Structures are given as structure tokens and as C-alpha cells.
């Protein structure tokens, strides 16, 4: 029957869809792995370049007087402090991107690999379950076909028995019609012959009647069987399409979204951690920029060269031999001039 | 005078310190420029690598059925949605790091260059002012030396005049002592001679007295001049060391810290902007990860293949030729069996 063929085609199609879905998942997970492997490479290279950059300028400053001062008292000119923090920030970025690369390689990618394996395994599992479900469904459909055929056969037999019965009834009527004719001119022998013929017909009619009843009953029973099986089949098909098929998809999906969620959260958390670290470093620099202060730098600058910036001794009065006066004298003759 | 020599050495030393400070600033600003130029290169390379990475996978997905679906109705399977957002994030990171590099090259470095030029210019300006201040100070010190020498000279002259006066007084006393002698045995002529001698001595004494008074007054005036100049000089030196020198340093510093602050804030703001953009992108991905949902994906999966997943038509009762009964029949003979 074409409807059964159609369902059989459906079942094959469904398996194909699930297989295709799994293939797409495996492909997606492969892409994700390739993507993160390549991104890990980029992050590593970026990290190395930043490290080299920091190292180059660190080496340069390590030899300067300022740096030795820094080691000693941590009291730097404010712009130099900013400069050192900039180099520290590059170092921090370098480390953070190396960590990111590391998490990609040793955690995120591993997870995607695992999910891919799990997807394939779960698809196989669902395929096994589907095989059993499909077999059961086919058995039901075959059963339906069988009982329908049985019904049709019995019904055909019943019709045939009925028509034979009707034929017998017709013959009987004909015979009764003939015996209703004036029989006076019929020979006794012939009459006898007719009676036995009537009897024969009656017997045949009875037999056919019995046959018909039997076939009729068989046909009804077969039809009932068919109707009940039909109902059961529709229920089975419905159950398969509404529940089992959904369960099969669920079986393929088992853990897929949750694992993907965890893997992507690992990625996100690594990225957010990098961001937090980066932000902390920038805040430290911002604080140093806030503290760019000419006054304290001037103080420090003058302290660095005390000999040059210390005010000298006061000039003292150099008295000439024996002159004991060392204040402005305002005696009479001078006073007038001083007044001017 | 050694104290003046010392101050002169100080002034030279101060200029050296300011020059050295300016050289260190110029060097620091050169380092900052080199640093940001190199970092801009690193950021550009990183940006290009990320762009290539995104492009590679974008190209791959653009051709797939899912992507065409995406273009059509934006209704993607939730893991595919996450995947596309990951690629978008890489693109965003690529753009943001390119922007960062751009700001380094076209803004931050330019600012450092400008500050370096300004520092040199301000140092030259301060050198000119210092030259004038040093000349003035030297004039004051020379003046002090001159008035001190004058005082010493006049005081020496005063001492010499005093001793000459004293000598005259001694002679007069001697003469008066002689004239106090009994004069009876002295000749008139001799007496006359003596009188003229006393007069001479008196005249000389008067002259020397006048000379001494004059010199004494000159000496006092010179000493006063010296004392006043001494005070003024000390005030000038004090003013130079406490105010002028500070002003000279301020002149070199003019705008330095403020400009450095602005340049570094430009850098910080670029970094914070990158961070904000990055964070926004991550939040979008996080939202998509929150929406990883097996139920809606199953729905969408089944809608993608309606032919395979749509429940088929119900199996209808196929009546055999002319059989008009299509319900379970429960007439007497069958009923019993149905009961079973």
C-alpha cells in the first residue's frame, strides 16, 4: 500500500536528517576547534611581540640612574613613574594573552573535541533505538495490511456465498412456480421426479444459507479485527510521530547544548578575566597620570642636586683691622647724609 | 673672594642640572614615541591576523545553507548563532586594535613629539632669563666687593691719619712741656724761635686733625655703604636662590606635566574605548550562550524538514466492495466473541 511505502520513506528520511544534523554539529565543532587553534596562535604571537617590546625598553631603562634610584627608594619623578607603569602594562597584557592562548588550547578546544565525540556517540545510540522503533512500527503496519486483506477476502467470500444463495432461492421459486401449474396432465413419474428435485433444491438452498451465514459472520469478525487494528495502528503511528520521534531527537541532543554552553562559558570567562586584568592595569596608569605633579617633581629634582640648589652662606661683614663697629653708624655728620 | 667664586660655580652647575633635566625629558619623550610606534606595529599585525581569521571562517560559512537561511530570516540554530557571534567578535577585536594603532600613530606620538619640542624651547627661554639673572647677581656681588675694598681703603687712610695726628699731638706736648720749663735762662731770641715752633706744631696738628676727621668720616660713610650693600646683596642672593631659581625651574616645566597628562589620557581613553567595545561584544556572545536552547532548536530542526517530520494522514478504513458498515459491529453472534 502506498501509504505504508510513504511512511517507510519518511523513516529513512528522518534518519538522514538526524545524520545530517550530527554531521553539521561535528563540522561546527571542527570549525570551532580550528578557529580557536588559529586564534591561540595569534594570541601567542601577540603576547610574544608585547613581551619583546617591554623587554627592549626595560633593558634600556634598567641601566639608567633613574632606575637605580627607583630600586633604592621607589621615589620617581612622576613622568618616569608613568613610563615604568606603561611598560608594566605591556608586560601584563603579554602575560594575559599568553594565558588566553593557553586556555584556548588546553581547555576550550578539548571541550569541543569531547562534545563532537559525544554527538557522534549519541547519534549512534539514537540510531539503534530508531531501528527498533521502526521495526515495531513496520510490524504494526504489516499486521494492518494482513487484517485488511483477511477482511476483504472474507467479505468477498461472503458476497459470493450470498449470490449463490440467491441463485438457489431463484431456482426454488422457479420450481415452486412450476408445481403451482395445473398438474393434472403431468405424469405421476414426472411428478415424483419434480418432488425430488424440489427437495434437492431446498437442501442446496439450506446448505448455501448455512455457508452464507458462516461467511457473513467470518466477514464481520474480520472487519471488526480490521477496524480495531486500524485504530491501534493509527495510535501507534501517532505515538511514533509525536513522542518517539521527539525522543529520538532528544537522544541526539542529549548534553549537546549544555556542554556547548560550558565550553563557551570557559572561553567567555577567560576573555572577561583578561579584560579585568587589563582594566586594573589601566587604572594603575590612570592613577599615576593623575599624580603627574610639577611641584613634587621640582622638589625631587632639587634634592637630587643639593650642592647646586642649596642657598649659600650669608655674606658676613668683613671688618678692617681693628674696626669694631659693624653696624650702620649714624653720628651727627653722617646722619644728614644718611637721611638723603 | 672665594664665596663669590663658589656662587659662580653654583650658577653654572644649576644650568647644567636644568640642561640635564631637559635632556632626560627629551630622551623619555623619544622613548615614548619609539614605544608607541612599535606598539602600533604590533597592534596592526594583531588586527590583520584577527581579520584574516574571521574572513577565513566567514568565507567558509557564507556558502553554507545555514548562512543563506540566516540572511533570509535571521532565525538560526542557537549554536550556529553563537558561532557567527564569535566570528563577529573577532572582527570587532580586529577593528578595535586597528583603531588603537591609528590613535597611537596619529595622536599620541604627535603629542609626545610636540611636548619634546616645547621642553627644548622652554629650556632655551629659561636659559636666557637665567643669563640675565646671573649677570644682575654678579653685578651685585662685584659691587659688594668694590664697596668693601673702598671701606678698607678709607679705613686704612683713617688709621694712618689718626696715627699722624697722634704724632703731632705728641710733638705739641713735648713743645708745651719745654715751654713749661723755667724760661729765665732762655734767650729772648731763642724764646721767639720757640714760640714760632709751637705755632707751627699747632698748625700742623690742626691740619692733621682736619685730615683725620675727613678720613674718619669717609671711612664711616664707606663702612655704612658697605654694610648697606652687604644687606642688599644678601637679600639679592636670597631672592635668587629662593624665588628666581624656582621660577627658572618652573619656566622649564611650563606645560610639561599638563601636556604629558593630556597625551597619556589620550592613550588611556583609546584603551578604555577598546575595552568597552570588547566587553559589549562579549556580552552579546554571553547572551547568545544563555540562549543555547535544545527545545527551540528541535522545533527549528523539524521545521527545516517538514516532509520528514510531519505526521502522516491517518489510515482510513478501506471498505470492501459495497460494504457500508465501517464500525465495529456487535450483533449477537459477534458480541460474545468481542466480549472476550
Measured between beta carbons, the chain B residues lying within 8 angstroms of A3 are: 312-313, 315
Distance from CA of B130 to the nearest CA of A (A): 14
In this prediction the pTM is: 0.84
Measured between beta carbons, the chain B residues lying within 8 angstroms of A227 are: 317, 326-328
Q: Are B328 and A227 in contact (CB < 8 Å)?
A: yes
Q: Are B35 and A226 in contact (CB < 8 Å)?
A: no
Cell 424440489 found at: A198
The CB-side HSE value for A98 (13 A sphere, CA atoms) comes to 11
Average pLDDT over residues A99-128: 97
Residues 17-46 of A with CB under 8 A from B: 17, 21, 24-25, 28, 31-32, 34-35, 38-39, 42, 45-46
Check pLDDT > 90 for residue A73: no
Q: Are A144 and B242 in contact (CB < 8 Å)?
A: no
pLDDT given for residue A62 in this prediction: 76
Check pLDDT > 70 for residue A289: yes
Band (B45; pLDDT cuts 50, 70, 90): very high
The residue among B293, B284, B225, B223 whose CA lies nearest residue B79 is B293
Band (A38; pLDDT cuts 50, 70, 90): very high
Cα torsion B105, B106, B111, B113: sign: positive
**Quick check: B82 contacting A, CB < 8 Å?**
yes
As given in the structure block, the three cell numbers for residue B189 are 731770641
For residue A9, what is the nearest residue in chain B, using CA coordinates?
A: B308
Q: Are A21 and B301 in contact (CB < 8 Å)?
A: yes
Listed in sequence order, the residues at least 6 apart from B170 whose beta carbon sits closer than 8 Å to its beta carbon are none
**Quick check: A301 contacting B, CB < 8 Å?**
yes
**Quick check: B142 contacting A, CB < 8 Å?**
no
Please answer whether residues A150 and A226 qualify as being in contact, where contact means their C-beta atoms are separated by less than 8 angstroms: yes
The number of angstroms, rounded, from the C-alpha of B52 to the middle of its chain's C-alpha atoms is 40
Spell out the SS3 assignment of chain B.
Answer: CHHHHHHHHHHHHHHHHHHHHHHHHHHHHHHHHHHHHHHHHHHHHHHHHHHHHHHHHHHHHHCCHHHHHHHHHCCCCHHHHHHHHHHHHHHHHHHHHHHHHHHHHHHHHHHHHHHHHHHHHHHHHHHHHHHHHHHHHHHHHHHHHHHHHHHHHHHHHHHHHHHHHHHHHHHHHHHHHHHCCCCCCCCHHHHHHHHHHHHHHHHHHHHHHHHHHHHHHHHHHHHHHHHHHHHHHHHHHHHHHHHHHHHHHHHHHCCHHHHHHHHHHHHHHHHHHHHHHHHHHHHHHHHHHHCCCHHHHHHHHHHHCHHHHCCCCCCCCCCCCCCCCCCCCCCHHHHHHHHC
The residue among A259, A268, A261 whose CA lies nearest residue A104 is A268
Name which of A233, A264, A307 is nearest B82 (Cβ-Cβ): A264
Find which of A215, A220, A251 to mutate to test the B interface (most B CBs within 10 Å of its CB). A220
The residue among A231, A238, A237 whose CA lies nearest residue A147 is A231
Name which of B39, B221, B328 is nearest A53 (Cβ-Cβ): B39
pLDDT given for residue A68 in this prediction: 59
Measured between beta carbons, the chain B residues lying within 8 angstroms of A291 are: none
Check pLDDT > 70 for residue B154: yes
Q: Are A159 and B321 in contact (CB < 8 Å)?
A: yes
Please report the ipTM that was assigned to this predicted complex: 0.85
Average pLDDT over residues B134-157: 93
Question: What distances in angstroms separate CA B260 from CA A168, B113, B263, B277, one per listed residue?
Answer: 124, 11, 5, 26
**Quick check: A145 contacting B, CB < 8 Å?**
no
Task: Specify the 3-state DSSP secondary structure of A253.
Answer: helix
Task: Specify the 3-state DSSP secondary structure of A149.
Answer: helix
Q: Which domains does chain A have, with CATH numbers?
A: 1-304 (1.20.1270.60)
Check pLDDT > 90 for residue A127: yes
Find which of A151, A294, A325 to mutate to test the B interface (most B CBs within 10 Å of its CB). A294
In tens, the pLDDT along A129-181 reads 999 999 999 999 999 999 999 999 999 999 999 899 898 888 888 877 766 55
As given in the structure block, the three cell numbers for residue B94 are 580586529
Find which of B24, B35, B255 to mutate to test the A interface (most A CBs within 10 Å of its CB). B35
pLDDT given for residue A270 in this prediction: 98
Check pLDDT > 90 for residue B66: no
The number of angstroms, rounded, from the C-alpha of B249 to the middle of its chain's C-alpha atoms is 13
Measured between beta carbons, the chain B residues lying within 8 angstroms of A87 are: 35
As given in the structure block, the three cell numbers for residue B179 are 715751654
* Higher local confidence (pLDDT), A64 or B303: B303
* Higher local confidence (pLDDT), A3 or A249: A249
Task: Specify the 3-state DSSP secondary structure of A319.
Answer: coil
Check pLDDT > 90 for residue B312: no
Name which of B156, B311, B327 is nearest A241 (Cβ-Cβ): B311
Q: What are phi and psi of B322, to 5 degrees?
A: 75, 0
Check pLDDT > 60 for residue B71: no
As given in the structure block, the three cell numbers for residue A55 are 623587554
Which range, of A10-19, A51-60, A237-246, B201-210, averages the lowest pLDDT? B201-210
Distance from CA of B86 to the nearest CA of A (A): 9
Task: Specify the 3-state DSSP secondary structure of A117.
Answer: helix
Cell 637679600 found at: B235
Question: What distances in angstroms separate CA A179 from CA A44, B212, B325, one per listed residue?
Answer: 118, 208, 40
pLDDT given for residue B186 in this prediction: 66
Measured between beta carbons, the chain B residues lying within 8 angstroms of A35 are: 53, 57, 86-87
Spell out the SS3 assignment of A67-106.
Answer: HHHHHHHCCCCHHHHHHHHHHHHHHHHHHHHHHHHHHHHH
Distance from CA of A161 to the nearest CA of B (A): 15
Measured between beta carbons, the chain B residues lying within 8 angstroms of A83 are: 28, 31-32
Amino acid at each position: 500500500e502506498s501509504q505504508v511505502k510513504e511512511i517507510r520513506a519518511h523513516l529513512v528520511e528522518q534518519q538522514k536528517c538526524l545524520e545530517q544534523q550530527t554531521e553539521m554539529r561535528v563540522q561546527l565543532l571542527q570549525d570551532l576547534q580550528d578557529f580557536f587553534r588559529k586564534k591561540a596562535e595569534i594570541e601567542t604571537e601577540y603576547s610574544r611581540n608585547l613581551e619583546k617590546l617591554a623587554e627592549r625598553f626595560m633593558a634600556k631603562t634598567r641601566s639608567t640612574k633613574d632606575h637605580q634610584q627607583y630600586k633604592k627608594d621607589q621615589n620617581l619623578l612622576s613622568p618616569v613613574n608613568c613610563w615604568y607603569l606603561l611598560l608594566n602594562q605591556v608586560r601584563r597584557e603579554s602575560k594575559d594573552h599568553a594565558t588566553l592562548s593557553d586556555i584556548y588550547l588546553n581547555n576550550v578546544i578539548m571541550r569541543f573535541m569531547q562534545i563532537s565525540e559525544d554527538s557522534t556517540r549519541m547519534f549512534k545510540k539514537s540510531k539503534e533505538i530508531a531501528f527498533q522503533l521502526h521495526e515495531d512500527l513496520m510490524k504494526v503496519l504489516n499486521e494492518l495490511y494482513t487484517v485488511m486483506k483477511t477482511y476483504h477476502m472474507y467479505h468477498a467470500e461472503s458476497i459470493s456465498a450470498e449470490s449463490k444463495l440467491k441463485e438457489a432461492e431463484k431456482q426454488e421459486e422457479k420450481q415452486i412456480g412450476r408445481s403451482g401449474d395445473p398438474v393434472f396432465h403431468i405424469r405421476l413419474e414426472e411428478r415424483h421426479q419434480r418432488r425430488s428435485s424440489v427437495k434437492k433444491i431446498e437442501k442446496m438452498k439450506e446448505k448455501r444459507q448455512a455457508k452464507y451465514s458462516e461467511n457473513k459472520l467470518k466477514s464481520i469478525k474480520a472487519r471488526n479485527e480490521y477496524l480495531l487494528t486500524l485504530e491501534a495502528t493509527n495510535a501507534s503511528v501517532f505515538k511514533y510521530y509525536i513522542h518517539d520521534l521527539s525522543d529520538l531527537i532528544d537522544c541526539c541532543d542529549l548534553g549537546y547544548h549544555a556542554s556547548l554552553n560550558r565550553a563557551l562559558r570557559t572561553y567567555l570567562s577567560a576573555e572577561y578575566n583578561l579584560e579585568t586584568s587589563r582594566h586594573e592595569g589601566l587604572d594603575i596608569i590612570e592613577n599615576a597620570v593623575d599624580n603627574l605633579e610639577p611641584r613634587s617633581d621640582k622638589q625631587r629634582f632639587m634634592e637630587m642636586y643639593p650642592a647646586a640648589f642649596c642657598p649659600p652662606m650669608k655674606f658676613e661683614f668683613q671688618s678692617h683691622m681693628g674696626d669694631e663697629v659693624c653696624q650702620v653708624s649714624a653720628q651727627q655728620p653722617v646722619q644728614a647724609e644718611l637721611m638723603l
